[in-house]
Amino acid sequence: MPKQQPPQPPRKNLALVEGSHRDPMAGAKDVGAINPKDEAEVTLRVRSRTNEAELQQHLQLAAAKPPSERTYLSRGEFTQSHGASPDDLAKIDQFAHDHHLTVVESSIPKRIVRLRGTLADLQTAFGVTLRRYRSKQVAYRGRTGPVYVPKELAGIVEGVFGLDDRPVAKPHYRRLGALKGMAKTKAIPVRPAKKTVPRIAPKAAKDRSFSVLEILKLYNFPAGLDGTGQTIALLELNTPADSSQPSQKAGAGYTNSDLNAFFSKLKLKTPAVSPVSVDGGANLPGLNPDADGEVTLDIEVAGAAAPGANIAVYFAPNTDKGFIDAITAAVHDEVRKPTVLSISWGGSEDSSTQQFLDGVNSAISDASLIGMTVCVASGDSGSSDLGSSDGSPHVDFPASSPYSLACGGTALTGKNSTIGSEVVWNEGRQGGAGGGGVSTKFSLPDYQKNASVPKSPTGNAGRGVPDVAGDADPQTGYQIVLAGKELVIGGTSAVAPLWAGLIALINQQLAKNGSGPAGLLNTMLYQLPAGSKALRDITEGSNDIDGDLGVYSAGAGWDACTGLGTPDGQALLQVLTAK
């Protein structure tokens, strides 16, 4: 069946939403029409009442000072100064009425409007044609071309999400061996690797793996702090075990029995965990064992690092709409008020629409304004990221957002509090490698101007990824409990919640000192003097997963493999809490 193009609306009535152009997923074919009577929900991201220059000024003023001297906006103050304009929201209300759409939510602080209606009405309202697409890997409702809105909403609506429900992210963890009953991770179709490393059996791996408490000791996490008074937010995405089967229910979740067994083994009290539903997402363990591994890993690592902190898990569908809505839900949560967010899901920035990149980046910058740190896994496929066949490096998103603390991966050995060796994690295509590189979508931030970041693959001065790192090699991985069994998991998915736990400890001390939370740490980390003990520079290895890109290797100072290095928690605490 020939690919159908979206209708071209009269320019005098409709305006194109910048950055909304979509192409079918690679290998996906148009397999038929959608049912126009089916209903769906979309999220409209609305402009701030403050212009971009003022937003940047506020961020720069906060980031230029040490955490003890920073002044952040309360969530209420953010609403008043940077939320959406009520007049803009009223115009969208009228638009919804004119197109038979129901307003599900209209939020000034989140700057979103959620609308629900039939697919027929949504197609008319946004000038698109929706079709069913399928490949060997995924089935989804999709569109091609851009999205349109009425001319009077041009500039007001910055993004429209949810018309297309393809998955946008994957979890960034690697496990040793296959847990019985757990679906194996599907192979990404790629060119043959020049070098591969066989999967290590669990028995062999366990000899070099660590309990989370052992990793905390090696990284010298500060004693006497447990995260009390802090809330760690985790973003998790409900995904079908087989995305090519539309009938499969999407899942991802944890079980209390796994958490109790894990923390009991460590002789820790199981932390308070709150599952939060976003866009209908839920704690649904057992439907997708791979996604369950991600959720459970995040909770167990963050909870062991900061056992006194509360943990809020924001579950959302694995779509562009779900991803953005989950971040905004965490950032603007007036009930739980998290001070750090960990994101272990992502995808190549080159596979995303510009409106998605801008929407997520804007949501993460909102987090910075209220003092929330956002830790993001940098990916597990080295400098190629997608495992693409184009012969070029790619970076993962949202790690490439300049407002994220991008977390890369190392291979760690050691005993007690002594590190034996630590190098870039790279075990080839099968074993994985820490993501890193230079963004083609986001320009070089001010805090990296003296970091000797190389040019991006397209020749521009881009944001360098990652900022920091931690143990991620499955061969030296984390011992967790999943589906009633003990196993070892690695990946940068473990590094993001590890850093989130450390930041919760730092925020606890800052609160004791009468200060606000750490917030965007990047500026201070890049200003640390050479030889600072707060970060351990990793100088050996490469994240060229196939051995044929030859672009990034570790060295003195920042590099696109492990960033500025791995933490000495106690030394970092002293730096960030100094007055």
From 294, 150, 300, select the one nearest 235 (Cα to Cα): 294
Active site residue 294: yes
Question: Among the options 48, 362, 401, 493, which is catalytic?
Answer: 493
From 169, 559, 540, 517, select the one nearest 376 (Cα to Cα): 169
> In the structure encoding, which two tokens stand for residue 182, read together?
């757990």
Question: Among the options 236, 290, 294, 320, which is catalytic?
Answer: 294
Contact 236, 292 (CB under 8 A): no
From 256, 251, 228, select the one nearest 240 (Cα to Cα): 251
From 504, 511, 457, 73, select the one nearest 307 (Cα to Cα): 504
* E strands present in 3-136: 14-16, 29-33, 39-46, 102-107, 112-118, 131-134
Burial readout 117-153 (b: 16 or more C-beta within 10 A, e: otherwise): bbbbbbbbbbbbbbbbbbbebbbbbbbbbbbbbbeeb
Task: Output phi, psi for 561, to 5 deg.
Answer: -115, -50
Contact 397, 346 (CB under 8 A): yes
DSSP 266: T
Question: Among the options 121, 165, 290, 298, which is catalytic?
Answer: 298
Q: Which residues contact 206 (CB under 8 A, 6 or more apart)?
A: 479, 488
Distance CA 420, CA 520 (A): 31
Which residues are the active-site residues? 294, 298, 493
